[in-house]
Amino acid sequence: MRHHLVLRVIAKMLIPFILLFGLYVQFHGDFGPGGGFQAGVIFAAAFILYALVFGDDQARKVVPDKALIVLVPLGLILYAVTGFYGLFLEGNFLDYNVLLNSPKAGQHIGIFIVELGVGITVAAVMISIFRAYAGRTRAIDDEDW
Amino acid sequence: MIDVIINSASATLIGAGSIFILIGALGLVRLPDFYTRMHAAGVTDTLGAELLLLGMMLQAGLSLVTLKLMLISLFIFFTSPTSTHAVANAARVMGLRPMSGSKDILTSNENT
């Protein structure tokens, strides 16, 4: 890893900011530009950058495959449960107005949970797709650079 | 009066940044081999983008927008040279040699 000293230092410095920006895009998405999909991609990009610089094996220790297997359906379940919960409360499917006492609060919490579900699923799927391809070829040893 | 100074300074900075990016684009097309093109793309990209952002900061004044622009320029300042370094490093390791002055321009890239 000595060979990639510059990349390692810069990646270490940037990854927290990428994660923070992902969270900002996720949770500011109902007020400004952003949303679940974009936030999920940004969040996954931080983990992919980590895997590119520090190696796939190291990245698998940070986010194990088992965690991804749980996270991919978890977001979808959050989305579906929010949708069916509106149906359960005698509204329509994904009807946010009936979730809480006032329609405004219901809209707010509804879009929040649905976007969170989208974000979790997109991030986990992006990392999974990267893993599926990254494991195919042998990693280059440091002496070979 | 102060408006005129700020506006003209911002226009100068944005104009200079545009010229740097134009030079970078021309260099990318016209320079002969990979490393010189890398140089044109990398160096002028950093400087051009920074000058443009500086000009925009003067337009925005003291506000949240300026803070965001400062953060963007800080990240470009670190990431753009790093990406240039990574690409040039990968090319060097893979055995692409820099063009030397003694060889013919047209043949130097084919035997690498």
Most confident of A5-9, A42-46, A104-108: A42-46
Q: What is the pLDDT of residue A50?
A: 93
CB-CB neighbors (< 8 A) of A145 in chain B: 93
Q: Are A67 and A98 in contact (CB under 8 A)?
A: no
pLDDT band at B108, cuts 50/70/90?
very low
Q: Is B85 on the interface with A (CB under 8 A)?
A: yes
Q: Is B78 on the interface with A (CB under 8 A)?
A: yes
pLDDT band at B103, cuts 50/70/90?
low
pLDDT tens-digit series, residues A17-43 = 999 999 999 988 777 787 889 999 999
Rounded Cα–Cα distance for residues A75 and A77 (Å): 5
Inter-chain CB proximity A7 and B93 less than 8 Å = no
Per the rule left: phi > 0, alpha: psi between -120 and 50, beta: everything else, A98 is: alpha
Q: In Å, how far from its chain's centre is CA B104? A: 28
Inter-chain CB proximity B78 and A17 less than 8 Å = no
Query: Is the pLDDT reported for residue A145 higher than 70?
Result: no
Which is higher by pLDDT, A12 or B44? A12
Average pLDDT score, chain B: 86
The shortest C-alpha distance from A7 to chain B (Å) reads 7
Q: Is A88 on the interface with B (CB under 8 A)?
A: no
Q: Is A5 on the interface with B (CB under 8 A)?
A: no
Per the rule left: phi > 0, alpha: psi between -120 and 50, beta: everything else, A102 is: beta
Inter-chain CB proximity B79 and A14 less than 8 Å = yes
Average pLDDT score, chain A: 88
Inter-chain CB proximity A13 and B75 less than 8 Å = no
Q: What is the pLDDT of residue B111?
A: 46
Q: Is A6 on the interface with B (CB under 8 A)?
A: yes
Domain residue extents for chain A:
2-137
A59-63, A115-119, A141-145, B89-93: which has the minimum mean pLDDT?
A: A141-145
Q: What is the pLDDT of residue A117?
A: 93
Q: Tell me the mean pLDDT in the region B56-82.
A: 91
Which is higher by pLDDT, A143 or A60? A60
Query: Is the pLDDT reported for residue A69 higher than 50?
Result: yes
pLDDT band at B104, cuts 50/70/90?
low
Q: Is A14 on the interface with B (CB under 8 A)?
A: yes
Q: Is A70 on the interface with B (CB under 8 A)?
A: no
pLDDT tens-digit series, residues A112-137 = 899 999 999 999 999 999 998 887 87
Tell me how many degrees the CA angle A80-A37-A94 measures, rounded to the nearest 5.
30
For residue A43, which of A28, A71, A22, A63 has the smallest C-alpha distance? A22
> Strand, helix or coil at A45?
helix
Nearest-CB residue to A7 (from B75, B82, B93): B82
